[in-house]
Every structure is written in C-alpha cells, then in structure tokens.
Copies of this chain bind each other. A is one copy, B any other.
Amino acid sequence: MKAWQRQGVGLENLKLVDLPTPEPGPKQLLVRVKAVSLNFRDKAIVDGVYLPHLMTQPFVPVSDASGEVIKVGSEVKKFKKGDRVTSHMFTKWLDGTPNKDDGAHALGGPKNGGLAEYMLLDEDATVMTPATLTDEEASTLPIAAFTVWFSLVEYGKIKAGDTVLVQGTGGVSVYAVQIASALGAKVIATSSSNEKLERVKALGAKEVINYAETPDWEKEVLKITEGKGVNHILEVVGGQSINRSIEALALQGHIYIIGFLESMMAEVNVFSLLAKQAHIQGINVGHRRAFEDMIRAFDELDIRPVIDTVYSFDEALDAYKHLYKGAFGKIVIKVSE
C-alpha cells in the first residue's frame, strides 16, 4: 500500500513509501482510510518536540482518520465489513482514569496512524462514524472536536446558560464555538481579525472581541458578563495570556489548558487564582467512552465541521505547510474515494 512515513525529524523526513498492507489481529479491524485531519500534535511530532523518546522508529503519521472496515479479526464483535469508522487516538484509554503508558499506544506516533491507504484499528479504539457526517468531516473529530467535548462536558460539566470564552480560530477553537453554542452556552470569541470574528458569529458566538483592537480583552469580557466573568475558558495560547484569562473568569470558573501556541511556560498570578477559586485543568484529549458519548451527541446536535481546505493524498506536505501557517477550522487530507 501507499503510505506516508515519518522517518525522522522535519518535514523533509516525511516520505511517501510502499508498505505491505497489514493483516488484522484477532481483535483488530483493517480499515481503508478515506480521510485524515491534521492537528497541532502532528506538527509537533514532525518537528520532533512531542515525546521524542517514543518516536524513534519510522511510523505512519496522523492520528485522526475515518474510513471503511475492509476486514475484521477473528474475535471482533462490535464491527463488521462495510462499517464506517473513525479512529480513537489513545488506544488503551477506554474509560475512567488514564494509564501511564497511553502515549506509547497512541496512533500517528509511535503506533501507525492514518496517512496511508490502509490502517489497523483495535476494535476497542474505534468508534462508529456519525451517519450525519462525511468521512472528511468525521476525520476532524478525534482530537479537535473531542478535546473540546472532554474539556467542557467531562471535566467542566458545562450547563446550558454557562458562558464560554474561546480564543482564536484554529481547529480546536472553531469547534469550541460550535460545540459550546450547540450545548446552550453563551460564547464569547476572540481573534485579531474582524473577518474571522464575523465567521465565528455565524457559527454561534454571541459576542466577539478583537484582541488586537482591545488588548485588555479581559475587561471587555467582564463588561459583557456584567462583572461576573465567564464560567469556562479554553486556553490555547499559553504565556502571559493565562493571567488575563484568570481575570476574565467567574468565581470557581474553569480554565482548560489545551495548547501553548506562544510559550511552554505560563507565569501565573497565584493571588488572582486563589481569589477566583479557579479550576485549572490540563487537557490531553480523552477516553473512548466519552468519545462515543460525543458521537451520539453529534447525531442530535446540528454541528457541521468547518474544514478550511481539503488536500489530496499526494499533497500531504502542502497540508502540513498549511498547518504551520494556521487555518480557520480544520485541514483535511483526502486519502481515497
């Protein structure tokens, strides 16, 4: 089969190769990949900065994939040939608490991922693709949508009527606008582009703030919320931004630390943290049971994934380059028809 393989650090070591088509073990599925989507993690893996001690052998990159089951192992019970399925990245984190070695069993590094004509999925680490989504759309769920869901629903127990602050318009952030709005929350979105703010308004955001025009955006958030602050903040920026987030937070509000676009270090004002009795939660995707919950929710909620650009399988490197530049919503690679 044709496959892209990560053979070392840097985009120049992402190579299109021929690999033997794998055979499913007793509890595995052989899946013909239709589409994959890219995440910040995929970039960090190419750059060699994401758990490099685990990424020592060549592997097929990209964790998030949707496709069709071609063949099932002898003991598989939950899926059959022809099923439309989507991958679950942490293949051993199924429910409850995470495991110490989840990283060592993650798809798209060090386990083979979806940027190939075929991939193996463990029966336990696979979910049914929602009937309402195309394969390209569904391939954007496993990290980007699910990180938002796991933050707001599993950790934050979000309620309709809560207020949510979303920073920026990358893949996670656009989903945050859509999912939080669909759950009945009031979303306040920030961006440095008024054009993008118009687009997130169309996706459900009730209030928007251009942080280039309003650098003290936390004060604007307090004004919008009549001094109460917001209940949930998805923090993707890192660095000093977190202190503005704490100021913008309601008493006992939640900050989900999802990314670190600006800096790996965040200098936190501890006194503000105490005074707000803030919850800060580090997020690292989630478990399969909650992913299945979200799939069911997508069947009820009217959320249409926002795809910035679809690249062909041969254009995979262009897709990565787009990821480096930033996108509005998700970047998808179509692997096969």
Chain A interface (Cβ within 8 Å of chain B)? 94-100, 103, 153, 157, 159-162, 182-186, 206, 227-228, 238, 251-252, 257-258, 260, 263-271, 273-284, 287, 289, 293-301
Contact = CB atoms under 8 A, between A and B. Distances in A.
Contacts of A260: 270-271, 274
Contacts of A94: 94-96
Count of this chain's copies in the oligomeric assembly: 4
A267 B270 contact: no
Contacts of A185: 300
B98 A96 contact: no
A183 B162 CA distance: 12
B268 A278 contact: no
Contact of A159 (B103, B283, B293): B293
Which of the listed residues A94, A266, A268, A279 has the most CB atoms from chain B within 10 Å of its own CB?
A268
Contact of A96 (B95, B206, B238, B284): B95
B257 A300 contact: no
A208 B183 CA distance: 24
Given A95-B97, A182-B184, A264-B269, A283 B277 contact: yes
A302 to B, nearest CB: 9
Nearest to A278: B282
B267 A265 contact: yes
28 contacts: A95-B95, A95-B97, A97-B289, A99-B251, A100-B227, A100-B251, A153-B159, A159-B293, A159-B297, A160-B301, A161-B296, A161-B298, A161-B299, A182-B184, A184-B300, A186-B299, A186-B300, A206-B300, A260-B270, A260-B271, A264-B271, A267-B267, A268-B268, A275-B282, A275-B284, A277-B282, A278-B282, A280-B282
